[in-house]
Amino acid sequence: MKPSIARYLPVLDWGRTYSRETLVNDLVAAVIVTIMLIPQSLAYALLAGLPPEAGIYASIAPIVLYALFGTSRVLAVGPVAVVSLMTATAISQVADQGSAGYLAAALLLAALSGGILLIMGVFRLGFLANFLSHPVIAGFITASGILIAASQLGHVLGINARGHTLIEIVQSLVTNLNQINPVTVLIGVAATGFLFWVRKHLKRSLLALGLGAMPADILTKAGPVAAVAVTTLLVWGLGLDSEGVKIVGAVPQSLPPLTMPPMDVELIRLLLVPALLISVIGFVESVSVAQTLAARKRQRIDPNQELIGLGAANLGAAFTGGYPVTGGFARSVVNADAGAATPAAGAFTAVGLAFAAIALTPLVHFLPKATLAATIIVAVLSLVDLSILQKTWRYSRADFSAVLATIVLTLTLGVEVGVSTGVILSLALHLYKSSRPHVAEVGLVPGSQHFRNILRHKVETDPSVVSLRVDESLFFVNARFLEDLVLNRLSGNKDIRHVVLMCSAINEIDYSALESLETINQRLESIDVRLHLSEVKGPVMDRLQTTHFLDRLSGQVFLSQYDAWRTLKP
């Protein structure tokens, strides 16, 4: 059993076995991830409507804090596309972009998200994420990816295009088409095309030329840096900013400042729901990535401790000039593939970004915003997976309807409506499916002691005995359904003398379901039919024995369905 402090500070666990070999692996991974994060952090801050330095600030303290409190060995925490979009949507409703109030709202949003995540972690509420169905989350992320890519087209074309929905963005683009800047378009399209080529073909080409796997991987990950460097030099050398090409401009040359989120009660009220949505979506995205990567090396993560790690990271962002963060898919995969062995790789990445904040920020003065937009577009289009519609259509029309509604509402009404709809639909879908549990009438497979669905197998049955296998726990949502099903099965059939509920798949019976079972028992007894139970699990039986139900049961409780069959068959 781990000591309590080690459970809340995983660094005390992996830190004890830290070796020189591990150090080398973490340093190599940190170099690769740092190269990737510099342009990405600037780009995601632009997406959030914040100054570019906010992206770097949000990638330093949060990484270090997650390294101390998180349980994933390779998760890379920082700004991500979906959370950046949700941040922009939330704070643009309470402050004007570019104002001091906008920056303060971003800090408060990070603080609220951090507080929510910490509270969820302390009270071990990580299981709540299970109520969000993965198809609905995939639909939301797909729609968000489309929205993000569309929102960046304005920067690529050199025009002002705003909006929180796809319709607003398209209308804004069409209205301002006469403002297109040809030089900006050339830079934006060239950068986008180059980044797509780098992502799909550069590594393969370098390997074909005989370059080693690791150098080829590093050069591929450095593709966005090359795009940034070349386009920045072009703008500076040719004076393209005077031709209307929008640039990043002056970026403070400093470490993250100490900041204090505003304690404004009204602002807190306005941002509390967006903070909750950001916390839930960020946690689901982060824990999914962490679990996937942990499974590769047969490691495990603790979702509740992940809540604490992400909460600490967001609080770190709030007090160091950042905005809400979470674990990113792309950077975490790069971190894992680069050989990161412990969260210390993240801490080393933070050191690299701190150096960049001090020494390299003057170099991005002439960086065109079109290049950052191209970086975002290429990154988020990998999130778009419209095949989820086809997959859910084939598998489950209910899931398809939920996914489609989430995508359509996110695109047409905005991110907050979309994610709220996703949460509601996930819960509604769960309740709908639970309210109509699969109940099979079963019979004996000849020559065995096994019972199977009479509609699927050739089995032995008896007209006086009805055996029903309930494939779901019984609780308030489905209790009445079972009651109606049993009574409908007996309707008009005077040969039935026994009803056996096969309980092998029932893990729990709540009080509402208990009352329904009592009602079934009473109604069956009134028409001279006995109610029996079989294969009741121990914990369920323990609960039933605390009530008077078993004393009033008209029939018996059998250890196995076969025992019930032998006893009740005439």
pLDDT digits (tens, 9 = 90+) for 438-494: 999 999 999 999 999 999 999 999 999 999 999 999 999 999 999 999 999 998 788
Structure tokens, 33: 């991830």
Same domain, 398 and 446: no
Which of residues 366, 395, 429 is at a domain's end? 429
Residues whose CB falls within 8 Å of the CB of residue 162, separated by 6 or more in sequence, listed in order: 154, 168, 169, 172
According to DSSP, the residues that pair with 557 across neighbouring strands are: 533
Residues whose CB falls within 8 Å of the CB of residue 105, separated by 6 or more in sequence, listed in order: 90, 91, 94, 95, 262, 267, 271
Give one DSSP letter per residue of 266-317, joined into a string: HHHHHHHHHHHHHHHHHHHHHHHHHHHHHHHTT----HHHHHHHHHHHHHHH
Structure tokens, 231: 């386009």
Q: Calculate the alpha carbon distances from 149 to 17, 85, 142, 165, 380 in Å.
A: 44, 11, 11, 12, 7
User: What does the pLDDT read at residue 4?
Assistant: 59
The pLDDT tens digits for 205-245 are: 888 888 887 788 778 877 888 899 999 999 999 999 999 99
Do 505 and 472 touch, CB atoms closer than 8 A? Answer: yes
Give the amino acid at 108.
Answer: L
Give one DSSP letter per residue of 532-543, joined into a string: EEES--HHHHHH
According to DSSP, the residues that pair with 452 across neighbouring strands are: 443
**Parallel, antiparallel or unpaired: strands 498-502 and 530-534:** parallel
What CA–CA distance (Å, rounded) separates 318 from 275? 13
CATH number at residue 560: 3.30.750.24
Asked if the structure places residue 169 within a domain, the reply is yes
Asked if the structure places residue 6 within a domain, the reply is no
What CA–CA distance (Å, rounded) separates 466 from 436? 20
E strand segments, 349-478: 439-444, 451-453, 465-470
Same domain, 366 and 462: no
Asked if the structure places residue 1 within a domain, the reply is no
**Parallel, antiparallel or unpaired: strands 465-470 and 451-453:** unpaired
CB count in 10 Å sphere of residue 273: 13
Asked if the structure places residue 481 within a domain, the reply is yes
Asked if the structure places residue 75 within a domain, the reply is yes
SS3 state of residue 421: helix
Which of residues 429, 460, 478 is at a domain's end? 429
At which residue do the structure tokens 């605390």 appear? 546
Asked if the structure places residue 434 within a domain, the reply is no
Same domain, 247 and 150: yes
Do 229 and 191 touch, CB atoms closer than 8 A? Answer: no
Same domain, 322 and 409: yes
What CA–CA distance (Å, rounded) separates 214 from 222? 12
What CA–CA distance (Å, rounded) separates 295 from 171? 45
Number of domains in the chain: 2
Do 206 and 219 touch, CB atoms closer than 8 A? Answer: yes
Q: Where are the alpha helices (DSSP H) in 441-492?
A: 479-490
Q: 238-268: string of b/e by CB count within 10 Å (b at 16+)?
A: eebbeeebbbbeebeeebbeebebeeeeebb
Same domain, 399 and 546: no
Same domain, 371 and 482: no
SS3 state of residue 363: helix
Q: Side-chain half-sphere of 565: how many Cα atoms within 13 Å? A: 20
**Parallel, antiparallel or unpaired: strands 465-470 and 498-502:** parallel
Give the amino acid at 548.
Answer: H
Same domain, 102 and 139: yes
Asked if the structure places residue 301 within a domain, the reply is yes
Same domain, 315 and 292: yes
**Residue numbers in the chain where pLDDT is lower than 70:** 1-4, 6-7
What CA–CA distance (Å, rounded) separates 16 from 320? 29
Range of the domain at 512: 439-568
Which of residues 395, 429, 463 is at a domain's end? 429
Same domain, 452 and 337: no
Asked if the structure places residue 493 within a domain, the reply is yes
Same domain, 234 and 140: yes
Task: Identify the DSSP state of 132.
Answer: S
pTM of the predicted structure, to 2 decimals:
0.81
Query: Can you state the angle between helices 81-91 and 134-157, rounded to 10 degrees?
Result: 70
User: What does the pLDDT read at residue 126?
Assistant: 81
Do 350 and 60 touch, CB atoms closer than 8 A? Answer: yes
Same domain, 378 and 518: no
CB count in 10 Å sphere of residue 445: 14
Same domain, 449 and 420: no
User: What does the pLDDT read at residue 293?
Assistant: 84
